[in-house]
Each structure stands twice: as C-alpha cells, then as structure tokens.
C-alpha cells in the first residue's frame, strides 16, 4: 500500500537544532533566554543531587565525593549485584556474669534475596549492630602507594617553587611530553643528552623554602613467581566457586578469583542531571531535590512549547504528480498560537525529494484546553477556516493541507519548510509586574518524511 509509514513517529518529523543537527521534537529542549532549540549534544549536562537508588537518601555532593559516590547504608550483592538486605538472628553467647550459661544476643548479617548469597557464605562474622558495622576492606598496598604519592607531591612542590623563582620561561614545545615525566624520577635523559632541557633542578632553594626530599625505599623486585598448584592438574574445579570477570572487576582493588573472597559492595549512588543552554547557561532542566519525585523544577522540553507536527498518512504519491497531503499541528500551550510557513532556503543537510507548496496565510492554532480534549466537540472559537487550506480542526489540533510534488521515482518523499510561530514569553516577566508578556516569533526548520513514492508501474 502506498504511503504506509514504516519509520517510527520520532523519525518522520525532524527539527533542526541550533547546533545544526536534525532531531525529533521529543528529544529537544528550548532555551527561554535565547529562544533556540537545543538537543542533547548542545546542552551542558551537569551532575545534580546524588542519591541512593535503594534507600532514596540524598547525599550532598561534597559528601558523595568523599564517599566515592557510595551509600553508607546500602550494599549490593558481590555475586549478582542485587541489593542485600540485613537479616537479624539470635546467637547464644557466653554470659559475662555467669560463664557457665549463655544468653541470646541479636546479631545481623547481610543476605541477597535473589541469589541467596550471604555474608556468612564467605565467613564474614555477623555484626552486633544492624548498620554501620560493615567496614571496607583495606588495600594491602595502601602504605606503599601513599609513600610514593607523598614523595612525588614533594618533588612537584619543589619543582613548582623553583619554577616560580626562576620565572622559568622555557617555551612549551613538543618536549612537553617528556617533561611531563620530568623530575618525578622519570627525567628526560634523551632530551638532556640533546641539551634540549636545561640541566637538572637547581639544588639551591629559597631560604625560607626548606624542601627536603628523602629518597624513598626502593621498589622490591622478585626473582620468582609461585608456580601453579599441582592440584590444578588433578582436582576437578567447581565453577560456582570461581568468580566471573565482572565480579572481579567490580572489586577492582582485589579482583578475587575465588567466590569465598567476595565482599559486600557499597551501593553506588545515582544522580539526576540538570541541563543548561551551552550558549547562555540558562537552566533547561532541573530536577527536584526529592529523589522520590519525578517532577522537575524546570523542564523546558520543546514539546511543551513548540507545535508538534504529525503526518496524516497520504494516499498515492507519484513522481511529478501534485498531491494534497495533510499535516496535523498541535498547540501545546494554553494560549492561541499563530503560525506561518516559509519556504526553506539553502540546505542544512536535509535531503529533500519533493517540492512543497505552503499555505500563504497566517493560521491560528487554538489553545490547549484540557476539558475540550476529552469532549469530542468542535472548538468554541470561530476561526473562519478556509477549507482549501484547513482540512479539519479539533480542539488544539489543526489539519493543514499542503501540495506536494515528488521529484524522485523511488525512495522516500521528503519535504522541508520553515515553521514560524509566535510565543508568549512568560519567563521574561515576573508575575507580580503588571506588564504584558513579551511576544516573540520563533522559526524552526522542519523536515517531514511522507513515506515512499508510489512506483509508477
């Protein structure tokens, strides 16, 4: 059948974004300061309000940073990744007053409701308190890493001091790469040999700048690595006792190969993102602080401000044959919107395959009116629609007739035009002021894919 639209709705009508990318209206934002359409690529994404997806607790950004974006209360199963729950049990412990007797005591452990993993499986002792007792494992190399880091930090400080003192003005050159290692014990010998980098650091230091750098303990090297255990050739392996690569990498410091070495993982926080216009830094989307809320304090999605266009499936579209088609325009705002059409000039990367004749007169889209959308009644206002241009009117929707002439014998029929509409800028005026809101005219370049041309055979 001719005119069947096989593309998903979101790809039939595309709007040109301010950054020159074509996008569906469902993925666009509009900046109310510079009145430009913005897409995901030309807005600034920002990390906003970290929260735990399990306990829904918000964490201030500074604290989240300190906690490495992990919740202090919730844990994930190291085996399957689901959330662990705290289970209470009663244990008999020797009575401190009467060593001959034992008394029950409440103890806690963590268990996975999904894969049944528990902290007991891996011999982690139960804890006497329900939360806060699960410490992180310590990196066995922490001391060495800290020593090295301290050492490099001192060297870097020293270098900085000397540089400032000498007003080091060596031009940056391609040698910078070598210099990036310079003086962290990775001195650029080759460059030095070539005489390209000034000889080593000057040992004299500012009188008040006693930077004393002790040499650090040399790295220990080994001559041998442990061989494979002999059992590997004789004992069958139990797959379930071996960790998978993702289980290992999720504990990057330890990467245990045996399942008994798995350890509960603190739950990773999520964030809500806020969006800003890259040009004027105005907020385009800002989530509510409350993680339970799906509301946004600010949410300037284009669909709420720009008329949405849909295609009424056309009949036959034949090569070089003038055909009337209908596009529906829906008004998203609560005021009437005037619209005009302009032929698209030049080319912005669209592939046009048909000529389109546009209505010359200005048309009005009725305001969005919630009850009227349900009551299937004709709009109350009288727009004196010209039936040669308007195919139908229903609440805030208007079916507009266009004349299209396909210029290709095969492939999709695509047209391009500029939609111009007025827009009441309520954002610019404060409600307290008794000023009339400013009216601006916005123009959007739009392409519409009307589906494949009907073959002439």
Partner 1 sequence: MPLYEGYTSDKNVVIFDFGAAYTKCGVAGEMCPRCIIPSQLKDQKTGKIKQIWEYNTEDELYENLKDFLFILYFRHILINPKDRRMVVCESLLCPEIFRETLAKVMFKHYEVGSVLFSPGHLTAMLTLGTNTGLVMDVGYNETLVIPIYEGIPVIKALQSLPVASKAIHQRMKEMLLSNGKVKTGNEEYSLSDKPELLTEEILEDIKVRCCFTTKWDRAKKIHDVTLYGADISNLPSPPPSVHYPLDGGSILVIDGTIREQVCEVMFEQDNEQVSVTTLLLDAIIQSPIDMRVELSQNIVILGGTALLPGFLHRIQMELLDLIKQPRYSNVLALKKFRYHQAPAKSNYTSWLGGSMIGSLETLPSKSVSRDQYTESGKLSDWCNLATVGQS
- Contacts of ligand ADP in 201-260 (CB under 6 A): 245, 248, 255
Of 21 and 32, which has the nearer Cβ to partner 1?
21
Kindly state the helix (H) or strand (E) to which residue 63 belongs, with its residue range.
Answer: helix 61-66
Residue 41 binds partner 1, judged by CB under 8 A:
yes
Backbone angles phi, psi at 291, to 5 degrees: -65, -20
Shortest distance in whole angstroms from residue 10 CB to partner 1 = 10
CB 10, CB 302: distance < 8 Å: no
Shortest distance in whole angstroms from residue 231 CB to ligand ADP = 19
Choose one: 189-197, 198-206, 313-321, 431-439; the region binding partner 1 (CB under 8 A).
189-197
Which residue in the block uniquely carries the two structure tokens 């500012």?
Answer: 206
x-or-dash string of contact with partner 1, 266-295, rule CB under 8 A: --xxxx-x----------------------
CA 184 to chain centre: 36
Shortest distance in whole angstroms from residue 226 CB to ligand ADP = 16
User: Is residue 432 classed as helix, strand or coil in its secondary structure?
Assistant: coil
Binding partner of residue 233 among Zn ion, ligand ADP, partner 1, none, CB cut-off 5 to 8 Å per kind: partner 1
Q: Which of 223, 345, 433, 436 binds partner 1 (CB under 8 A)?
A: 223
Task: Kindly identify the residues of this chain, within the stretch 116-155, that bind partner 1 according to CB under 8 A.
Answer: 139, 141-142, 144-146, 148-153
Nearest one of 429, 437, 446, 445 to 335, comparing CA atoms: 437
Residue 194 binds partner 1, judged by CB under 8 A:
yes
| CA–CA distance, 195 with 197 (Å, rounded to integer) | 6
Residue 65 binds partner 1, judged by CB under 8 A:
yes
Task: Kindly identify the residues of this chain, within the stretch 113-152, that bind Zn ion according to CB under 5 A.
Answer: 114-115, 117
Of 18 and 197, which has the nearer Cβ to Zn ion?
18
Both structure tokens of 431: 């409600």
Query: Minimal CB distance to ligand ADP: which residue?
Result: 255
Long-range own/partner contacts, residues 295-303 (CB < 8 A, 24 or more apart): 300/29, 300/30, 300/31, 300/32, 301/28, 301/29, 301/30, 302/15, 302/25, 302/28, 302/29, 302/30, 302/37, 303/25, 303/26, 303/28, 303/332
Give the burial class of 437: count Cβ atoms within 10 A of its Cβ; 0-12 exposed, 13-18 middle, 19 or more buried.
Answer: middle
Both structure tokens of 131: 């939360």
Shortest distance in whole angstroms from residue 187 CB to partner 1 = 5
Give the burial class of 191: count Cβ atoms within 10 A of its Cβ; 0-12 exposed, 13-18 middle, 19 or more buried.
Answer: middle
x-or-dash string of contact with partner 1, 81-100, rule CB under 8 A: --------------------
Shortest distance in whole angstroms from residue 347 CB to Zn ion = 18
Q: How many residues does the chain have?
A: 457
Backbone angles phi, psi at 142, to 5 degrees: -55, -45
Choose one: 42-50, 250-258, 394-402, 417-425; the region binding Zn ion (CB under 5 A).
42-50
Shortest distance in whole angstroms from residue 122 CB to Zn ion = 12
Shortest distance in whole angstroms from residue 91 CB to partner 1 = 32
Q: Which of 112, 327, 366, 415 binds Zn ion (CB under 5 A)?
A: 112
| CA–CA distance, 387 with 46 (Å, rounded to integer) | 49
Give the burial class of 174: count Cβ atoms within 10 A of its Cβ; 0-12 exposed, 13-18 middle, 19 or more buried.
Answer: exposed
Shortest distance in whole angstroms from residue 283 CB to partner 1 = 14
Choose one: 107-115, 185-193, 326-334, 411-419; the region binding partner 1 (CB under 8 A).
185-193
User: Is residue 389 classed as helix, strand or coil in its secondary structure?
Assistant: coil
Q: Which of 56, 156, 280, 428 binds partner 1 (CB under 8 A)?
A: 156
Of 52 and 366, which has the nearer Cβ to partner 1?
52
Of 115 and 181, which has the nearer Cβ to partner 1?
181
CB 161, CB 211: distance < 8 Å: yes
Of 77 and 404, which has the nearer Cβ to Zn ion?
77
Binding residue count for partner 1, defined by CB under 8 A: 83
Q: Which residues bind ligand ADP (CB under 6 A)?
A: 245, 248, 255
């Amino acid at each position: 059948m001719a005119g069947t639209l096989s593309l998903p709705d979101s790809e039939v009508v595309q709007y040109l974004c301010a950054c020159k990318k074509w996008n569906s209206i469902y993925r666009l934002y509009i900046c109310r300061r510079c009145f430009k359409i913005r897409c995901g690529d030309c807005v600034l994404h920002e990390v906003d309000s970290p929260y735990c997806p399990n306990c829904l607790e918000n964490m201030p950004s500074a604290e989240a940073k300190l906690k490495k974006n992990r919740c202090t209360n919730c844990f994930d199963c190291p085996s399957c990744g689901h959330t662990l729950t705290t289970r209470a049990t009663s244990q008999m412990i020797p009575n401190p007053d009467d060593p001959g007797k034992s008394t029950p005591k409440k103890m806690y452990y963590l268990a996975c409701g999904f894969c049944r993993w528990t902290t007991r499986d891996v011999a982690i002792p139960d804890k006497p308190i329900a939360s806060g007792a699960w410490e992180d494992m310590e990196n066995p190399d922490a001391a060495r890493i800290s020593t090295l880091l301290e050492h490099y930090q001192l060297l870097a400080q020293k270098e900085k001091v000397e540089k400032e003192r000498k007003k080091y003005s060596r031009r940056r050159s391609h040698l910078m790469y070598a210099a990036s290692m310079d003086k962290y014990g990775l001195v650029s010998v080759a460059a030095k040999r070539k005489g390209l980098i000034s000889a080593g650091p000057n040992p004299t230091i500012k009188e008040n700048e006693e930077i004393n750098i002790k040499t650090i303990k040399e790295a220990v090297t080994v001559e041998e690595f442990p061989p494979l255990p002999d059992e590997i050739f004789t004992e069958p392996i139990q797959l379930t006792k071996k960790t998978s690569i993702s289980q290992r990498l999720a504990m990057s410091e330890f990467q245990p190969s045996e399942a008994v070495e798995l350890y509960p993982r603190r739950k990773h926080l999520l964030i809500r993102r806020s969006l800003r216009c890259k040009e004027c830094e105005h907020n385009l989307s800002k989530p509510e602080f409350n993680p339970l809320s799906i509301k946004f304090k600010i949410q300037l999605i284009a669909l709420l401000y720009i008329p949405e266009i849909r295609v009424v499936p056309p009949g036959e579209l034949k090569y070089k044959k003038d055909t009337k088609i209908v596009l529906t325009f829906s008004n998203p705002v609560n005021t009437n919107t005037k619209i005009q059409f302009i032929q698209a000039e030049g080319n912005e990367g669209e592939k046009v395959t048909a000529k389109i004749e546009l209505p010359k007169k200005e048309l009005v889209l009725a305001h969005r009116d919630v009850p009227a959308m349900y009551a299937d009644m004709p709009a109350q206002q009288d727009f004196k629609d010209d039936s040669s241009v308007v195919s139908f009117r229903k609440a805030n929707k208007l079916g507009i007739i266009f004349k299209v002439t396909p210029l290709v014998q095969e492939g999709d029929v695509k047209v391009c035009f500029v939609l111009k509409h007025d827009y009441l800028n309520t954002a610019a005026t404060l409600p307290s002021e008794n000023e009339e809101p400013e009216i601006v005219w916005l123009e959007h370049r739009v392409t519409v894919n009307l589906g494949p041309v009907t073959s002439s055979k």
